[in-house]
């Protein structure tokens, strides 16, 4: 059984972040990047009007995606195996309809929660053309089975590099409670802002370190005790996790979340919302989960943790222990088991 992973690197992910890390832990074969680039260059010379029938298909599909699928079409008759699209919302459309598969299997991972998937993928019929679907949120299982009409949807949790993201040998001493918040996708920024304002109004000794894109800095304008970061190195991001006393990451919806997994691996208690697939990754031993939009619950958690060193220490240890369940070595082995089920089905 040959395994071919079709993937991309999300530009804002660190070198140790993202679902494409899975490739490092599988005995997979790479499709030629130089050949794909050649196909892309050819496509770029074709007028958009002539290409849009093939590339304007919805989602986040584009010419690069189409070039990947042309490459798969040329490989399928010659190289039998599993062809796994790691980012289905971005790259999968025509692959499930390709002829001359020679017994090959098309596998697709989808990442977005159901409500967002409804918006992004307009043509849901493509889901049923894959031989199997992988999801990384428990909230996706029943939803995806509705489109496939088969028991061919598998849950595989997102992983984290627990060898890179680790707790510090010793946390630096500081008088202020250090809160980190990372990212922007599906984050409830309004909740974060309300918590910051209340902390300032009540003169809490709390510092908020927020890692996001520069275009979102304005959302935090005028708020005191806020440090904004963007474009930091992998090691700087890791140090920020390690120095944090808590991760504040209320979500509007989710399946898996890189920042939560990375914080857990660094032994950071998690303050988030009980939405989407979050319960597949966190539990009450190290996380506080509020109702959607309920910033009062998370603010109370900040108050409690900032005044209770033992509770914070216990939650930190529990977070690290839980993260080991999602180590990429573990997830990679689980993926191989699923591949075998798909291949032999």
58 pLDDT higher than 90: no
**So where are the chain's domains?**
2-159+327-344, 177-325
- Tell me the pLDDT of the chain averaged across its residues: 95
Which CATH fold topology does 2-159+327-344 show? Rossmann fold (3.40.50)
Most confident of the following: 48-52, 202-206, 285-289 = 285-289
**Residue given tokens 């992973």 in the structure block:** 5
- Local structure of 282: helix, strand or coil: coil
Matching CATH topology for 2-159+327-344 and 177-325?
yes
Task: List C-alpha distances in Å: 169 to 175, 239, 273.
Answer: 19, 11, 29
**Mean pLDDT, residues 235-250:** 98
The answer, as to whether pTM is greater than 0.85, is: yes
| pLDDT exceeds cutoff 90 at 137 | yes
How does pLDDT run across 111-122, given as a tens digit for each residue? 999 999 999 999
Amino acid 12: pLDDT:
74
- Whether the pLDDT of residue 172 is over 90: the answer is no
Alpha carbons 111 and 133: distance in angstroms, whole number = 11
Instruction: Quickly name the fold that domain 177-325 has.
Output: Rossmann fold (3.40.50)
Judge whether residue 131 has pLDDT over 80.
yes
Does residue 174 surpass a pLDDT of 80?
no
pLDDT tens-digit series, residues 260-303: 999 999 999 999 999 999 999 999 999 999 999 999 999 999 99
In whole angstroms, give the CA distance from residue 335 to residue 144. Answer: 18
pLDDT one-digit tens code per residue, 187-199: 999 999 999 999 9
The β-bridge partners of 81 are: 2
């Amino acid at each position: 059984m040959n395994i071919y992973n079709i993937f991309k690197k999300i530009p804002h992910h660190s070198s140790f972040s993202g679902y494409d890390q899975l490739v490092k832990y599988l005995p997979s074969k790479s499709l030629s990047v130089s050949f794909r680039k050649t196909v892309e260059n050819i496509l770029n010379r074709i007028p958009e009007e002539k290409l849009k029938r093939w590339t304007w298909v919805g989602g986040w599909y584009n010419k690069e995606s189409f070039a990947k699928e042309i490459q798969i079409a040329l490989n399928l008759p010659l190289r039998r195996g599993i062809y796994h699209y790691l980012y289905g919302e971005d790259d999968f459309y025509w692959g499930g309809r390709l002829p001359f598969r020679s017994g090959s299997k098309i596998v697709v991972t989808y990442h977005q929660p159901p409500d967002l998937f409804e918006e992004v993928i307009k043509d849901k019929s493509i889901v049923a053309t894959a031989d199997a679907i992988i999801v990384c949120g428990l909230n996706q299982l029943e939803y995806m089975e509705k489109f496939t009409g088969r028991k061919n949807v598998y849950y595989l949790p997102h992983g984290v590099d627990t060898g890179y993201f680790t707790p510090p040998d010793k946390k630096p001493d500081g008088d202020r409670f250090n809160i980190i918040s990372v990212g922007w996708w599906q984050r409830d920024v309004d909740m974060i802002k309300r918590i910051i304002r209340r902390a300032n109004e009540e003169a809490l000794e709390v510092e908020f370190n927020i890692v996001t894109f520069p275009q979102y800095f304005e959302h935090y304008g005028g708020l005191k005790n806020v440090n904004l970061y963007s474009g930091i190195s992998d090691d700087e991001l890791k140090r920020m996790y390690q120095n944090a006393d808590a991760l504040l990451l209320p979500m509007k919806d989710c399946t898996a979340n890189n920042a939560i997994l990375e914080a857990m691996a660094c032994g950071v208690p998690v303050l988030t919302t009980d939405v989407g697939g979050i319960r597949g990754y966190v539990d009450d031993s190290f996380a506080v989960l509020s109702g959607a939009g309920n910033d009062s619950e998370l603010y109370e958690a900040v108050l409690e943790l900032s005044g209770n060193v033992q509770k914070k220490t216990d939650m930190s240890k529990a977070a690290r222990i839980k993260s080991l369940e999602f180590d990429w070595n573990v997830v990679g082995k689980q993926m191989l088991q699923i591949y075998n089920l798909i291949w032999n089905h």
